[in-house]
Structures are given as structure tokens and as C-alpha cells.
Amino acid sequence: TPRIFSGIKPTGHLTLGNYLGAVRQWVETDQHRADALFCVVDLHALTVDHDPARVRRLSRQAATLLLAAGLRPELCTLFVQSHVDEHTRLAYLMECTATDGEMRRMIQYKEKAARERATGGSVRLSLLTYPVLMAADILAYRADEVPVGDDQAQHVELTRDLAERFNQRYGHTFTIPRAVLPAAAARVMDLQDPTAKMGKSHAETSGIVYLLDEPDSVRRKIMRAVTDSGSKVAHDRDEQPGVTNLLEILGACTSRKPVELAEQYSSYGALKKDTAEAVLEVLRPVRERHAELCADPGYVDGVLRAGAQRARGLARPTVDAAYRAIGLLPPA
Ligand code: TYM
């Protein structure tokens, strides 16, 4: 069976983009067909201005939501990144494998750094080195596959390069992983700005559907989604980004092809209404299970404790092997 690793960053409340782009695949397919590890990557949440209490709360909430969405601890391993030291141990070796040029070329770094600087903020060094920690996350488990949304594909490509370079220089140590993107909704766009990704850490929230939004709020956000000039319902990312985003979301929620759906609608209003109802249908059971799990925090703690223990056992030998391969003297 293949080994799968993926992660989610607790920098904000989970969004419909996270769910359709990643989490749903983890739940519906990955945990059943593979040895799958899913990680709340809290260290990655420290790369931008953060509030300690909020990160702690969001980490717990993310874990709870992943269970609510349907991850089953008897089928997969769910844990918190900072509970397993191997991630940071290996990240340093990845810093010694990657170049600064590679880091500076990352689209996500360029965008986030530009945003920080534009608002007069400074850029944490960890924002630049973010991809080496992500590479360490994946390589420590010798993962074969990394199910992610489209925005993470470049980071997984870099991970492959680093693994190949390390193996070539120091002997075969790591499995070369590959990104696996969902068939639909690999990039859910912001409802108010359909040329930008729906992102959980954005400040303006009217275009973002959160998994825990109240149903009325979900309806309102979708009914007010920006559509395009003209009134034709067409699947065309360049000419009709707003409508196309709705078609992608509706398609992902109803397991239908966005292109075929386009032919069935003649008005934006009907498309929005059906999209809102389809999204609510998908979110309802998640919200319900989340409320149940919140009443039982001991259960979530137990899952995370067992998950970290299993993860440590898997990562430890690989990271130890990497330490030896790169030339570090093993402790006597
Ligand atoms: P993060 O926390 O931003 O997102 C978690 C997952 O959700 C996907 N995603 C989306 N998919 C479609 N449309 C969107 N609008 C959308 N927004 C987010 C992301 O592609 C991702 O799969 N760097 C990663 C976390 C990470 C990781 C890893 C992932 C750290 N280490 C190792 C895989 C393997 C991130 O920031 O994801």
C-alpha cells in the first residue's frame, strides 16, 4: 500500500477550499486505500504574525474538524506537527540541501512576502524557509503521494527535487513523492474576487465560506458572489471566472461535471441558489459531528496522542538514517 502524507495549517478557520481541494479526498479515498498520515502543521502557522492563544485554539479546532469531516483514527494517523520533533530535525538537513534561490522562487513566498511588506510589516525568516519544513514533513515519512490543492503543487515539486538531490549526494534515503490533485475544485476561488484563491488567512471574509459558518451566512455569501458581466452561464476561467468558480463548487459538491452543469443554467440566480443548497448539504453533517466532538475533548486528545506516537515511530528511523548519510556522527 502507498504511504500518503498531507497537512493543513492552523492560520484560520478551515474553508470550503480546504475541504473540496484536499480534505474530502483524504476522507473519501486516501484513508481507505493507503497508509495515510494527516497533520495539523502548527509550526507552519508561526511563519506569519500570529497570536499564540489563537494558534493553539485553531490547531485543536482543525483536528476536531478533520475528524468531523470523516477521518477515522482506526484507518489513518492524525497528529500535530509540533508533537513530533523529527520534522524540525529533518528541516535543518533540508536547509543544507536547498538553495536560497530555490526558496525565493516560490510563488507563495513571493506573494505573502509582498503582502507583508506592502502593509509595512516585516517578513519572518521562517516564511522564506517554509518549503524546507514542508519537504521535511513529507520526506520523514517516505510518503509516495501528497494529496493537495493546486496551490501546493509547486512546494511538492520542490520536495521532489530536494529528495533527489539528497539521495544522489548521500545515498538513497528518501522516497520521491508526487502531488495528487483532486479531479474537481483543485482551486476554489474567493467568491468576492474570483481571480484569487479562497484562503483561510485572508482578512476580508465575505468571499470565503468557512466549514463552520451558519447556514444563513453560507447562503448569503454564495448569493452575493461576484458574477461576470453578461448573463451567459459558461465554464470559462478567463472570461467568466465568477460563474466558473460557482460551477466548479457545484460540480464538486454534486459529483457532476462543471462543463455539463453550465448547459443546464440560463440564469446566475438559479446557479447560485443550487450551489448554496449543494454546499449546505455537504457541510451539514460536518457541522453536526463537529458539535458532538466538541463535547468530548478527551476523545480528540486521545486521537492526537496516539497519532503522534505512531508518527514518531515512523519518522525516527528515516531521520536518523538521513543524519548518518549526511555525515553527522551518531551518538555513542
Ligand atoms: P493550507 O493549510 O493552506 O491548505 C490545506 C490544503 O487545502 C488546499 N487548499 C485549497 N484547495 C483548493 N482551493 C482552495 N482555495 C484551497 N485553499 C487551500 C491546499 O492546497 C492544501 O492541500 N503548505 C500547506 C500545508 C502543509 C503540507 C505539508 C501539505 C505543510 N506541510 C506537507 C502537504 C504536505 C498549506 O499551507 O496548506
CB of residue 127 inside a 6 A radius of ligand 1: no
Angle at 27 between CA 222 and CA 280, to 5 degrees: 20
Task: For residue 197, indicate whether it is catalytic.
Answer: yes
CB of residue 161 inside a 6 A radius of ligand 1: no
CB of residue 149 inside a 6 A radius of ligand 1: yes
Phi and psi for 279 in degrees, rounded to 5? Answer: -65, -45
Q: Which three cell numbers stand for residue 182?
A: 483532486
CATH number of 215-291: 1.10.240.10
C-alpha of residue 7 to centroid of ligand 1, in Å: 7
Pair 166, 24: CB distance under 8 Å = no
Report DSSP state, residue 146.
Answer: E
Q: How far is CA 31 from the centre of its chain?
A: 16
**Whether the domain at 3-181+297-326 and the domain at 215-291 fall into the same CATH topology:** no
CB of residue 22 inside a 6 A radius of ligand 1: yes
Annotated binding-site residue? 52 = no
In this structure, how many other beta carbons lie within 10 angstroms of the beta carbon of residue 291?
Answer: 12
- Which is the catalytic residue, given 110, 112, 272, 273? 112
Comparing CA positions, the residue from 5, 331, 51 lying closest to residue 152 is: 5
CA distance 194 to 104: 26
| Residue 210 bridge partners (DSSP) | 15
Annotated binding-site residue? 273 = no
CB of residue 6 inside a 6 A radius of ligand 1: yes
Question: 248 in the Ramachandran plot: left (φ > 0), alpha (ψ -120 to 50) or beta?
Answer: alpha
Q: Where are the domains of the chain?
A: 3-181+297-326, 215-291
Pair 296, 238: CB distance under 8 Å = no
CB of residue 146 inside a 6 A radius of ligand 1: yes
The reported pLDDT for the residue numbered 202 is 80
Residue range 270-290, pLDDT digits in tens: 999 999 999 999 999 999 999
Q: Hey, whose CA ends up nearest to atom 14 of ligand 1?
A: 17
Closest ligand 1 atom, residue 130 Cα: 23
Best residue among 9, 111, 178 to mutate for probing ligand 1's pocket (most ligand atoms within 8 Å of CB) is 9
Annotated binding-site residue? 17 = yes
| Residue 15 bridge partners (DSSP) | 210
Q: Are strands 35-40 and 145-147 parallel, antiparallel or unpaired?
A: unpaired
Annotated binding-site residue? 318 = no
- Which is the catalytic residue, given 110, 200, 221, 232? 200
Task: For residue 200, indicate whether it is catalytic.
Answer: yes
SS3 259: helix
CA distance 253 to 279: 6
Closest ligand 1 atom, residue 201 Cα: 3
Question: Which class is 3-181+297-326 in CATH?
Answer: alpha beta
Q: Hey, whose CA ends up nearest to atom 18 of ligand 1?
A: 18
Closest ligand 1 atom, residue 197 Cα: 15
Annotated binding-site residue? 70 = no
* pTM over cut 0.90: yes
Comparing CA positions, the residue from 327, 218, 317, 316 lying closest to residue 275 is: 218
ipTM passes above 0.90: yes
The reported pLDDT for the residue numbered 146 is 98
Q: pLDDT truncated to tens, each residue of the chain (332 aa)? A: 999 999 999 999 999 999 999 999 999 999 999 999 999 999 999 999 999 999 999 999 999 999 999 999 999 999 999 999 999 999 999 999 999 999 999 999 999 999 989 988 899 999 999 999 999 999 999 999 999 999 999 999 999 999 999 999 999 999 999 999 988 778 999 999 999 999 988 878 999 999 999 999 999 999 999 998 877 899 999 999 999 999 999 999 999 999 999 999 999 999 999 999 999 999 999 999 999 999 998 999 999 999 999 999 999 999 999 999 999 999 98
SS3 7: strand
